[in-house]
Structure 1
């Protein structure tokens, strides 16, 4: 007889653990408040997904890549964009990458957060710029919250 009811205790525990998150999710659905969404889309991701319009007043990391018109290296624009996106998306969703044509055969990557500009860096040395931009983004957005 005990074997038939062994599943009840784990199910009750799971329901009790999930109830607060489910309750908050239901409340966020009916109130349209993005700050109530547990483990879901945050207000920062919503600002990033708004096509560059920062609706919540948060700063963004704007990455400007000056792509040399005479560039003959092995790295393509897609590869560079993917490398930048991988580095930044692991820390924030508040970024935008833009490519601009530039004279010469060099690539320069600049990072802008509000009035702060870091770079230009060559593609191989942009790790310092990414770190500086993320620190500036954190400080800038922390003061706005």
Structure 2
């Protein structure tokens, strides 16, 4: 019974809910970034480097069965081990773009937080022993 109570307290904490929402939004945002990289950026990068399609960059590590086309999809479908470093390049560019976007968002949020002026903190209460010492001091002065 104690474990269920602990789990309930854990699951309904605000941080867990925030994390769940963040993961869901992150997954959807990841698809948008995949599209931006795959459909917008990588074609431009490929054009700059001579109309190269990075997804076609791979090294065949095994012997393909006779009649298998030498493209990545067919080799993978045939179960041939393939080192698809072109896909890695695409994913790396995807990560860099995503990291930059998150950096810009955090930078903007921090800038907005700095512009909000924090209310001055209330002075800490004087400890009781200091108050008593002051009373003794003041009584001796009289």
Q: TM-score, normalised by structure 2?
A: 0.32
Whichever structure has more helix as a proportion of its residues is 2
Q: TM-score, normalised by structure 1?
A: 0.31
Whichever structure has more strand as a proportion of its residues is 1
